[in-house]
């Protein structure tokens, strides 16, 4: 199974806290969307710690950098679309369609990011290959 892309779409979060305004949450979402293709920028928004829950990635900021490098080398033509974004308190949730190789069905991904002081400090994801067939006509997105 391909190691799915799951790190390509977060950068430029605005500051977040447990109690934040609706405008603030919307700004977070827009910032994520605008910068979704800027892979390298991601590391600029990491905090001093980075708790990684993706089981294929090593813990910590250095682990994320290594994982990004690995993915870019293995899937240089990968493309990710952020289909929808949610924000709640200090968390941002993305529903993503990631296509590691052009023409493949790709993966459905949900990323959950926790922020502190405008920096990403924790990441979870769930990744599922898009199946060839479905019992409905609605797609996974």
The residue among 40 and 62 lying less far from a copy of itself, judged by its C-beta, is: 62
The residue among 41 and 51 lying less far from a copy of itself, judged by its C-beta, is: 51
Report the distance separating Cα 21 and Cα 127, nearest Å.
30
Q: Which residues of this chain interact with a copy of itself, rule CB under 8 A?
A: 19, 22, 25, 51-59, 63, 84, 86-88, 91, 93, 95, 108-110, 112, 124, 126-128, 130-131, 133-141
The residue among 38 and 140 lying less far from a copy of itself, judged by its C-beta, is: 140
- Least distance from a copy of itself to the Cβ atom of residue 84, Å: 8
- H-only helix segments in the chain: 22-34, 60-74
Instruction: Tell me if 29 sits within 8 A of 93, measured CB to CB.
Output: no
Instruction: Tell me if 75 sits within 8 A of 5, measured CB to CB.
Output: yes
């Amino acid at each position: 199974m391909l190691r799915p892309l799951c790190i390509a779409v977060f950068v430029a979060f605005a500051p977040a806290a447990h109690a934040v305004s609706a405008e603030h949450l919307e700004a977070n979402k827009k910032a994520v969307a605008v910068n979704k293709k800027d892979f390298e920028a991601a590391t600029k928004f990491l905090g001093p710690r980075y708790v990684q829950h993706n089981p294929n990635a090593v813990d910590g900021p250095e682990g994320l950098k290594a994982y990004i490098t690995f993915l870019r080398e293995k899937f240089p033509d990968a493309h990710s679309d952020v289909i929808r974004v949610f924000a709640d308190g200090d968390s941002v949730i993305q529903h993503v369609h990631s296509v590691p190789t052009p023409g493949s069905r790709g993966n459905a991904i949900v990323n959950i990011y926790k922020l502190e002081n405008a920096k990403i400090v924790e990441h979870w994801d769930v990744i599922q290959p898009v199946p060839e067939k479905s019992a409905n006509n609605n797609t996974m997105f």
